[in-house]
Amino acid sequence: MSSDTIFGKIIRREIPANIVYEDDLCLAFKDVHPQAPVHILIIPKKNIPQLSAATAEDQNLLGHLLLTAKQIAEQVGLKNGYRLVINNGQDGGQTVDHLHCHLLGDRALGWPPG
């Protein structure tokens, strides 16, 4: 179900992570190099290398990731807002070939982000 990336290894518990949420479809953990006071990665357990590789079959899973991000944001108290980021491909800044959503918050975030 999971890939051989660092995220696959986290899903399989081969390397440790500070896990903040898990269900049958996804796992969320604190980023080891946070870019904001709250920086949580939300990953599907299904091996999808990047958003552009997702198919219509993944529609429910993608929606689940967004609703999970909302739930985690509420749990960690991000009342003044937050940002969700999905990097896609090398030019999009993706560094791990496993779809993941960055939940960033607990400070004002600038625009444009890049």
**CA proximity to 104, closest of 35, 42, 44, 32:** 35
Q: Is 39 a catalytic residue?
A: no
Query: Chain centroid to CA 96: how far?
Result: 11
Peptide bond into 16 cis (omega under 30): no
Active-site entry in 33, 64, 98, 100: 100
| Residues with active-site annotation | 100
